[in-house]
Chain A
Amino acid sequence: QQPVQSPQAVILREGEDAVINCSSSKALYSVHWYRQKHGEAPVFLMILLKGGEQKGHDKISASFNEKKQQSSLYLTASQLSYSGTYFCGTEMGSSNTGKLIFGQGTTLQVKP
């Protein structure tokens, strides 16, 4: 039931791009993306509702393929501040309750 994230870890140079994937075996209502820096609270990035929409936030965007039950997070022209662990959180059923099942995380390290 837990979504599977890939890759587990990514190391980038500043300015490079990265893609983080999140796959579920269950039908999803929504996919949420959070970033957590070491010792800090997870911070909301964006939510995607079923319908295949794509969203963007500065140089970070995401897509949700409802048929494949997959979401991808795109980080373009990465900055040092992008370093951290990225979690996708999935919500099943038919309503937006906020009860999320998180993936195991993808650790992103951006080097100068």
Chain B
Amino acid sequence: GAGVSQSPRYKVAKRGQDVALRCDPISGHVSLFWYQQALGQGPEFLTYFQNEAQLDKSGLPSDRFFAERPEGSVSTLKIQRTQQEDSAVYLCASSARDSNTGELFFGEGSRLTVL
């Protein structure tokens, strides 16, 4: 596809369940970012990859959150033992990172609701 694709678009989980959110970046984009957006707030940085290397995971809120990008393209954000405070939209963005434009291309997000 032409843009960043995320799935599922909507996920309802019972508290304590594990969830996995997938991000398919724009083909050839080196950098991939995960952001968390609570209702009415700006996106908050979680982690980012350059190819398959996770260069910064300082924004992950707890050790229940784990992200991977094993082959440098598709990425998965996994949340274990979900809690109600994990309810948010999880945005993935990719960037070519080979120019000074700095543009992040965002997906439409995965909306997680934890009951």
Contact = CB atoms under 8 A, between A and B. Distances in A.
Contacts of A91: 102
Interface of A: 2, 30, 32, 34, 39-44, 47, 49, 87, 89, 91, 96-105
Interface residues of B, number: 28
Given A41-B91, A98-B33, A99-B56, A30 B102 contact: yes
Given A30-B102, A49-B100, A102 B43 contact: yes
Nearest to A43: B106
B102 to A, nearest CB: 4
A104 B91 CA distance: 16
Nearest to B106: A41
B41 interface: yes
10 contacts: A39-B108, A40-B108, A41-B3, A41-B4, A41-B106, A42-B106, A44-B103, A49-B100, A99-B33, A102-B44
A47 B33 CA distance: 17
B53 interface: no
B95 A98 contact: yes
A97 B48 contact: yes
B104 interface: yes
Contacts of B66: none
